[in-house]
């Protein structure tokens, strides 16, 4: 506010205010119940529908008040990955460089005298982008109940169809991860993580590692959820 010069000593005659809404603060509503309900119905519908159609059906069945961002992916047996992202939850698809390039990658790390020599050589193949109405006030696109202040539809989401390869790593996370760790940091932690194709628990261990690193850094204090999937070949 810049007052008229003759009115500056009085602060001018204009008045204004700004308020950012939050469900719990304004209405006593736990938006987490909406998110859990939407997730529950999406999981059930995803067995027979595409991610977008599953979210559409789940949203119609979610009657509690609230709003939430969404990231849903479906990996088919032919390796095709269908993705649905809306808001600032999202995914990263990482792939390891071929063996010859991996050796060169490790050699470069050695001659640069890096303290840590990566055991892997993953890089980002594909990723979702955050969808925001207002970055400054942290207003992402969101699915919501009928009385939500901003209510976006599943049709506005980002949709990808990606062909994956055996060995690919898929990271799904809420903004609690992406606001605290850069893509470079995420790739760094993955490349220094001991991968074990014979241990199905390593995906959960990697998810916990990334979540704990984001929590320890905590530039932006928020809920943090991370899911890790490892694409493998079914030998049967």
Quote the CA–CA distance of 8 and 130 in Å, as a whole number: 42
CA 206 to chain centre: 15
State the pLDDT at residue 136. Answer: 82
State the pLDDT at residue 192. Answer: 93
Establish if 6 belongs to a structural domain: no
Tally of structural domains, the chain = 1
Establish if 74 belongs to a structural domain: yes
State the pLDDT at residue 4. Answer: 80
Quote the CA–CA distance of 31 and 183 in Å, as a whole number: 28
User: Would the pTM count as exceeding 0.85?
Assistant: no
Domain that holds residue 120: 16-230
Residues 6 or more apart whose CB falls under 8 angstroms from that of 181 comprise: 189, 210, 213, 214, 217
Host H or E run for residue 178:
helix 175-178
State the pLDDT at residue 151. Answer: 82
pLDDT digits over 51-74, tens only?
Answer: 999 999 999 999 999 999 999 999
User: In the chain, what is the straight-line distance between the N-terminal and C-terminal CA atoms, in Å?
Assistant: 70
State the pLDDT at residue 169. Answer: 96
pLDDT digits over 37-51, tens only?
Answer: 999 999 999 999 999
Establish if 49 belongs to a structural domain: yes
99 to each of 36, 115, 118, 121, 122, how far by Cα in Å?
Answer: 42, 22, 13, 9, 11
State the pLDDT at residue 168. Answer: 95
CATH label of the domain that carries residue 138: 3.60.40
Residues of the chain where predicted confidence (pLDDT) is lower than 50: none
Establish if 7 belongs to a structural domain: no
Beta bridge partners of 77: none
Of the candidates 227, 97, 89, which has an alpha carbon nearest to the alpha carbon of residue 171? 227
State the pLDDT at residue 114. Answer: 53
- Torsional class of 231: left (φ above 0), alpha (ψ -120 to 50), beta (otherwise): beta
Establish if 235 belongs to a structural domain: no
């Amino acid at each position: 506010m810049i007052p008229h010069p003759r009115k500056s000593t009085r602060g001018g005659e204009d008045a204004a205010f700004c308020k950012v809404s939050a469900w719990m603060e304004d209405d006593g509503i736990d938006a987490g119940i909406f998110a859990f309900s939407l997730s529950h119905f999406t999981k059930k519908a995803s067995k027979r529908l595409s991610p977008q159609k599953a979210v559409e059906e789940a949203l119609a069945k979610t009657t509690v008040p609230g709003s939430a961002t969404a990231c849903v992916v479906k990996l088919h047996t032919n390796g095709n990955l269908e993705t649905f992202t809306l808001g600032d939850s999202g995914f990263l698809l990482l792939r390891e460089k071929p063996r010859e390039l991996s050796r060169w990658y490790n050699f470069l790390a050695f001659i640069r005298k890096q303290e840590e020599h990566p055991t892997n050589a993953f890089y980002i193949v594909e990723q979702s982008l955050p969808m925001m109405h207002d970055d400054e006030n942290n207003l992402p696109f969101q699915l919501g109940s009928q009385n939500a202040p901003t209510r976006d539809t599943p049709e506005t989401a980002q949709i990808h169809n990606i062909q994956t390869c055996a060995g690919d790593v898929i990271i799904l996370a809420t903004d609690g991860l992406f606001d605290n760790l850069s893509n470079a940091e995420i790739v760094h932690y993955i490349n220094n993580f001991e991968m074990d194709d014979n241990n199905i628990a390593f995906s959960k261990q990697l998810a916990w590692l990334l979540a704990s690193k984001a929590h320890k850094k905590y530039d932006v204090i928020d809920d943090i959820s991370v899911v890790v999937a490892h694409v493998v070949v079914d030998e049967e």
